[in-house]
Structure 1
Amino acid sequence: MESESERKAILERCLTWYLHAADAAQSVIAPFDRYHLDDRFPAPDPQLRFDRYEPAFQW
């Protein structure tokens, strides 16, 4: 069983991955509607990328 701090770290990793995945999809769906993510949440490695509109939109 995980401790409270371990659960918090796991949740933070999941939310950070989701935030950066959503940003990657948004940058393909609406490339001119940009914003910069806060550096407090560094991108996971490897970072999710989309090469076309359809996969980004489906995600």
Structure 2
Amino acid sequence: MSVDLNWFKSSYSGGEGECLEVAPTPTTIHIRDSKLNPTGPTLQISPTTWTAFLSAPARPAPGRT
């Protein structure tokens, strides 16, 4: 079964091609990095996992403040 996904670009994606896109469905959140290959592989996670990810506090990368 093929499903047409509606992809949304992250508001944090810059104008130089670095793009993270998500396509939510009722049972799965699809995530892709579209800067090199928008038809390439996707990461698929549950809505519960997505909510936990979005709720996690942001931490700076090591060595950054």
Give 1 or 2: higher strand fraction: 2
Do they fold alike, i.e. is TM over 0.5? no
> Which one has more relative contact order, counting CA pairs under 8 Å at least 6 apart?
1
- The interval holding the TM-score normalised by the smaller chain is under 0.3
